[in-house]
Amino acid sequence: MRADIALEGVRPHLTKERFEHTIRVAETAVRLAGLYNVSKEKCELAAIFHDYAKYRPLDEMEHWIKNTSLSDELLNYHHELWHGPVGAILVEKEFGIQDTAIKAAIQYHTTGKANMSKMEMVVFLADYIEPGRSFPGIEKVRDMSEKNLVKACWMALRNTILFLIEKKATIYPDTFHAYNDFTKRIIGGN
């Protein structure tokens, strides 16, 4: 699928601000894909669709979680986490995208997971560092994204976990598994 067609497909499902965010994530993903020798086309498509389900009604997302291969455990966590996994299902059903790498990058763009592929890392990181984002620590992650993909993802995960702890929010297990996996890759250990 061409990027322009994908963008027109997601536009009606996003707010103006979220659509602009999506464009920035796609541009950032293409740049990172070039740096780290990952398919630019696949990263761009995954980035375009990463928030496709973000504004779907909660009862619709709950339906997809309960009636597909997705884990019901998702329902025990904040609904902000639902749109990635549900989006991965919907892009296949509504756009015919069957590429498992693209769907996985969409599914894990918010939570991360252990053993992320380069494409998953690129989309995860592009969503985190796109130029419209501004919060403490982001510049260090942006700088690292130019040098080391694994370390930049680790920094993003660490920042996210610390932020959620500070808010006294629950943390989805895949995020901890991702952080632990990246820590082992960077620092070593058991």
Q: What is the CATH number of the domain that holds 85?
A: 1.10.3210.10
Question: What's the token pair of residue 75?
Answer: 């329902």
Name the domain count of the chain.
1
In a domain, 95, yes or no: yes
In a domain, 180, yes or no: no
Question: In 3D, which of 148, 64, 22 has the Cα closest to residue 156?
Answer: 148
The residues near 32 (Cβ < 8 Å, ≥ 6 apart) are 38, 43, 122, 125, 126, 145, 149
In a domain, 62, yes or no: yes
In a domain, 34, yes or no: yes
In a domain, 75, yes or no: yes
The whole-model pTM stands at 0.94
Distance CA 72, CA 85 (A): 11
Q: Which domain holds residue 63?
A: 3-135
In a domain, 33, yes or no: yes
In a domain, 61, yes or no: yes
- Banded model confidence at residue 189, pLDDT cuts 50, 70, 90: low
Share above pLDDT 70 across residues of the chain, in percent, rounded to a whole number: 98
Given this model, what pLDDT does residue 136 score? 85
Distance CA 163, CA 165 (A): 5
C-beta atoms surrounding 175 within 10 Å = 20
DSSP three-state, residue 139 = helix
Given this model, what pLDDT does residue 187 score? 86
Distance CA 116, CA 148 (A): 15
Distance CA 125, CA 1 (A): 23
Given this model, what pLDDT does residue 86 score? 96
* Chain-centroid distance, C-alpha 136: 20
In a domain, 146, yes or no: no
pLDDT, tens only, 20-78? 999 999 999 999 999 999 999 999 999 999 999 999 999 999 999 999 888 889 899 98
* Chain-centroid distance, C-alpha 165: 20
